């Protein structure tokens, strides 16, 4: 699943959703078909049956109504029409029942067939009775009788009444009152009542259906006729003509009554009404009951059908809802899985990108899927890898840069300390040479003094030489002179000692200066060596800066290729490039300064070598002075010896005069030599003084060169520190990227 392409996943999801929709639709259709079948059943069968039953009922009731109308109707024609209608309705009802029976037998629902059979049977029964009732009703005898009673009998009664009224008026015209007339009135009254009663009784006869009562009425009618016959003669008051007319009317009445009673005896109307009310009612009631039974069954079926429909509808609703729920859950689950399979890896890739943006390059996405997201994660991983590679490279280079800077700092520190040592030493050389200079000056003064003394010795010895011939005259003078000589010689001896010690001091100082100059030379050569080492380090730094520059360039190329996403990194790459350029500049600065240091160093070495040479010269001069002075000292000792001899043996002067003369000559020679030596000393001393002055100025140059070296060394040191700073910055910058797995995450 997770290795499918996104489109495949979406297709799968769509297929599942469509499948569930199809299943829902299928189930809904299936259930709806069931409901539809049920409703069709209800409409086609139950409803048809109910309609049929209702129709039967209507036809039956119409038949009953027509029957009643036929019975009630007094008109023959009308009765006939009603009867036909009744028959037709019943026949219709029977036909309908037959149809219903077919329907019912088709459905074969328990009880219904029996109920329809019962209805059919009762309908047959009703039809039979109905036929009888109608038969009777069609005869309409009571109505005919009544009509006769109301028409013929009425007319005859009216004729009779009119006659009787004439009789009454005739009687009333006669004013005489007698028994006959009273009897006549009485008879008139009686027959008039009888005539009135005849019609009433005839109608009563017609109205009753009971045979006994009919017989009573017939008898009453006969009595009434008799009463009229008997009262007639009296009532007429003797009017025979009118009696004949009355009798004829009475005969007519008799005929009419016979007809009426005959018809009344048939009593069809009443019988039919009775039948209609009793037997037909029973049959009708039975039929109505059967119909009600059938209706109840049909209603029960309808109710059952409705219940079934309701149940089917409910089950359909549950099925549809259930299948829909199942589809929704299935679709939801699959959608969730698909969404998860898309969003989870995307979130992981996003986390990776965020951590990369935050500088953490150690994270990787571990997705083992080959869809677009898998490709995206692989691409992101490889981006992180290449960034890690670049950053690691930069780190390595910056670490190398830092190491080189540290080396450079160490070397420059060494250089600084050595140049300080050189400076210190050149300073002490300067002070020693100053000391030397002052000693030599002292020595020069002593030499001058010595020279003066020697000159005075010379003059004294010359004087002695002049006066040696006149010793006798100048014996005392000699003693004095000898004393002077002795003093002078003592002074010379002292001076020579001074000179000797000064010269030795000078020699020692010169030796010191020479040693120091050698030491300074050695220091300066170490300095030169350090400079060469620094040159090597700066070369390395330049190389590293070059590589860093190239890396930064490639990083910029990568970042530009990455487009918008690489902009941040492009800024970092630019910073790194700037730092690399600064490193290169600082390294060049250092190289230039080292060049200056080395120039200064070479100059200092030259100067120190010339100082060494001068010191050697001074040493040689001092040695020569030393030799001269020693020689003079020996001469002075000899003089002193000679003077002692002179003092001891004045008596031996004569004998020794030649010796003295010789000694004086020697002395003169020696003094001249001494003078020459003194001059040499003086010259050497001056030379030494000059050389010392040269040394002093050279030493000052050395000192200046050392100072300059020292300054350069300080600058180198500063540059080295700045380089170190740059290296640290670079490391910090690169340190923002976490590339190794073992790095602590809070770093």
Partner 1 sequence: MSDTPKLFCTFRLEGHLFGVDILDVKEVTTETTTTRIAHAPEEVRGLVNIRGHIYLALDLRRLLGMPGTAITGETRLVLFKPTIGQAFGVFVDEISEIHTAMSDRIEAYSATDVLASKLRRVDLISAVCKLPDELLVVLNPRRFLHIVEERLEGNGE
Give contact residues for partner 1 (rule: CB under 8 A): 546-547, 550, 553-554, 556-557, 560-561
Which is nearest to 432 in space by CA: 527, 518, 499? 518
Rama region for 10: left / alpha / beta (φ>0; ψ in -120 to 50; rest): alpha
Nearer to partner 1, 487 or 554 (CB): 554
How far, in Å, CA of 690 to CA of 697, rounded? Answer: 10
DSSP SS3 for 744: coil
| Lookup: tokens for 293 | 């039974």
Decide if 559 contacts 569 (C-beta within 8 A): yes
Closer CB to partner 1, 330 or 550, in the complex: 550
Of the candidates 531, 516, 529, which has an alpha carbon nearest to the alpha carbon of residue 703?
516
| Shortest distance in whole angstroms from residue 533 CB to partner 1 | 21
Shorter beta-carbon distance to partner 1: residue 261 or 556: 556
Q: Do 191 and 232 meet the contact criterion of CB atoms below 8 Å apart? A: yes
Nearer to partner 1, 547 or 647 (CB): 547
Residue number, 48 or 553, with CB nearest to partner 1: 553
Minimum distance from residue 407 beta carbon to partner 1 (Å): 22
Residue 738 φ then ψ, to 5°: -95, 120
* Shortest Å distance, C-beta 546 to partner 1: 8
Beta carbon nearer to partner 1, 585 or 728:
585
Count of other CB atoms within 10 angstroms of residue 540:
18
Nearer to partner 1, 302 or 570 (CB): 570
Q: Are 632 and 503 in contact (CB under 8 A)?
A: no
Q: Which of 632, 742, 611, 730 is nearest to 678 (CA)?
A: 632
Q: Which 8-state DSSP code applies to residue 4?
A: S
Residue closer to partner 1 (CB basis): 35 or 572: 572
Q: Which of 182, 150, 173, 158 is nearest to 246 (CA)?
A: 158
- Closest contact distance (angstroms) between CB of 400 and partner 1 is 15
Q: How far is the CB of 618 from partner 1 (least distance, A)?
A: 52
Closest CA to 239 of 158, 169, 152, 155: 169
Rounded to the nearest whole angstrom, what is the least distance from the CB of residue 592 to partner 1 in the complex? 19
Q: Between 85 and 546, name the residue whose CB sits nearer to partner 1.
A: 546
Closest separation in Å from C-beta 382 to partner 1: 14
**Size (the chain), residues:** 747
Task: Pick between residue 3 and residue 554 the one whose CB is nearest to partner 1.
Answer: 554
Could you tell me which residues come within 8 angstroms of residue 415 by beta carbon, excluding any fewer than 6 positions away?
527, 530, 531, 534, 597, 713, 716, 717
Closest contact distance (angstroms) between CB of 696 and partner 1 is: 48
CB of 568 to partner 1, least distance (A): 16
Whether the CB-CB separation of 279 and 131 falls below 8 Å is answered with no
The 3-class secondary structure across 194-235, one letter per residue, is HHHHHHHHHHHHHHCCCHHHHHHHHHHHHHHHHHHHHHHHHH
37 or 557: CB nearest partner 1? 557
For residues 694 and 702, what is the distance between their CA atoms, to the nearest angstrom? 12
Q: To the nearest whole angstrom, how small is the minimum distance from the Cβ of residue 386 to partner 1? A: 11
- Measured CA to CA, the distance from residue 642 to residue 689 in angstroms comes to 36
Q: Which is nearer to partner 1, 263 or 555 (CB)?
A: 555
Q: Strand runs (DSSP E) across 450-574, as ranges?
A: none
Closest distance of CB 577 from partner 1, Å = 8
Smallest separation (angstroms) from partner 1 to the CB of 547: 7
For residue 558, how many other CB atoms are within 10 A of its CB? 17
Of 251 and 560, nearer to partner 1 (C-beta) is 560
Q: Report the C-alpha gap between 230 and 375 in whole angstroms.
A: 145
On the 0-12 / 13-18 / 19+ scale of CB atoms within 10 A, 330 is middle
3-state secondary structure of 737: coil
- Cβ proximity to partner 1: between 552 and 699 the closer is 552
Non-local (6+) Cβ contacts of 192 within 8 A are: 161, 164
Q: Closest separation between CB of residue 574 and partner 1, Å? A: 8
CA distances 147 to 74, 142, 213, 253, 260, Å, are: 10, 8, 20, 14, 9
The two tokens of residue 598 are 């080395």
Question: Least distance in Å: CB of 554 to partner 1?
Answer: 5
């Amino acid at each position: 699943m997770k290795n499918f392409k996104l489109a495949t996943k979406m297709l799968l999801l769509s297929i599942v959703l469509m499948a569930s929709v199809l299943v829902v639709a299928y189930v809904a259709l299936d259930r709806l078909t069931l409901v539809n079948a049920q409703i069709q059943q209800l409409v086609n069968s139950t409803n048809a049956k109910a309609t049929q039953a209702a129709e039967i009922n209507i036809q039956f009731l119409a038949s009953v109504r027509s029957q009643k109308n036929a019975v009630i109707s007094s008109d023959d024609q009308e009765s006939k029409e009603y009867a036909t209608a009744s028959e037709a309705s019943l026949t219709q009802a029977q036909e309908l029942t037959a149809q219903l029976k077919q329907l019912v037998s088709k459905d074969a629902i328990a009880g219904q067939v029996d109920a329809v059979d019962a209805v059919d049977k009762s309908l047959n029964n009703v039809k039979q009775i109905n036929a009888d009732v109608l038969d009777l009703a069609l005869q309409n005898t009571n109505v005919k009788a009544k009509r006769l009673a109301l028409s013929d009998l009425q007319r005859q009664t009216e004729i009779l009444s009119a006659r009787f009224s004439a009789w009454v008026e005739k009687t009333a015209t006669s004013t005489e009152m007698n028994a006959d007339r009273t009897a006549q009135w009485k008879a008139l009254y009686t027959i008039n009542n009888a005539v009135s009663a005849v019609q009433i009784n005839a109608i009563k006869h017609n109205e009753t259906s009971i045979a006994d009562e009919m017989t009573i009425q017939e008898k009453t009618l006969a009595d009434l006729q008799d009463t009229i016959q008997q009262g007639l003669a009296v009532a007429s008051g003797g009017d025979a003509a009118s009696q004949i007319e009355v009798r004829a009317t009475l005969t007519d009445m008799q005929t009419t009554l016979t007809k009426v009673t005959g018809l009344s005896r048939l009593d069809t109307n009443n019988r039919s009404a009775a039948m209609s009310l009793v037997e037909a009612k029973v049959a009708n009631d039975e039929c109505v009951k059967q119909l009600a039974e059938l209706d109840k069954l049909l209603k029960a079926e309808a109710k059952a059908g409705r219940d079934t429909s309701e149940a089917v509808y409910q089950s359909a609703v549950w099925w549809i809802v259930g299948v829909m729920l199942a589809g929704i859950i299935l679709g939801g689950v699959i959608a969730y899985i698909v969404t998860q399979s898309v969003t989870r890896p995307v979130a992981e890739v996003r986390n990776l990108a965020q951590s990369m943006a935050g500088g953490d390059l150690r994270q990787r996405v571990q997705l083992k899927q080959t869809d677009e997201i898998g490709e995206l994660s692989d691409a992101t991983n490889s981006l992180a890898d290449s960034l890690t590679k670049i950053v690691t490279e930069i780190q390595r280079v910056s670490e190398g840069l830092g190491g080189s800077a540290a080396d450079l700092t160490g070397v420059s520190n060494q250089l600084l300390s050595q140049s300080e040592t050189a400076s210190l030493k050149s300073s002490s050389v300067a002070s020693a040479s100053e000391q030397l200079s002052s000693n030599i000056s002292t020595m020069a003064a002593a030499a001058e003094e010595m020279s003066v003394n020697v000159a005075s010795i010379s003059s004294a010895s010359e004087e002695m030489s002049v006066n040696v011939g006149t010793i006798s005259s100048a014996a005392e003078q000699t003693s004095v002179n000898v004393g002077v000589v002795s003093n002078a010689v003592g002074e010379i001896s002292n001076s020579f000692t001074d000179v000797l010690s000064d010269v030795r001091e000078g020699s020692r100082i010169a030796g010191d200066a020479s040693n120091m100059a050698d030491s300074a030379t050695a220091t300066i050569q170490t300095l030169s060596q350090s400079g060469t080492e620094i040159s090597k380090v700066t070369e390395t730094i330049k190389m590293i800066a070059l590589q860093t520059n190239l890396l930064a360039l490639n990083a910029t190329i990568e970042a530009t290729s990455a487009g918008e996403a690489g902009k941040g990194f492009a800024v970092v790459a630019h910073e790194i490039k700037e730092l690399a350029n600064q490193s290169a500049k600082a390294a060049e600065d250092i190289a230039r300064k080292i060049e200056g240091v080395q120039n200064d160093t070479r100059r200092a070495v030259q100067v120190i070598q010339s100082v060494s040479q001068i010191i050697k010269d001074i040493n040689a001069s001092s040695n020569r002075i030393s030799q001269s002075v020693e020689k003079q000292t020996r001469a002075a000792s000899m003089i002193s010896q000679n003077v002692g001899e002179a003092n001891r043996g004045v008596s031996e002067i004569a004998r020794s005069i030649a010796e003295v003369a010789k000694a004086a000559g020697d002395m003169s020679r020696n003094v001249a030599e001494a003078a020459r030596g003194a001059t040499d000393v003086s010259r050497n001393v001056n030379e030494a003084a000059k050389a010392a002055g040269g040394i002093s100025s050279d030493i000052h140059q050395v000192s200046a060169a050392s100072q300059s070296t020292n300054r350069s060394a300080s600058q180198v040191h500063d540059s080295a520190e700045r380089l170190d700073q740059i290296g640290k910055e670079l490391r910090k910058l690169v340190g923002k990227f976490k590339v190794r797995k073992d790095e602590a995450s809070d770093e």
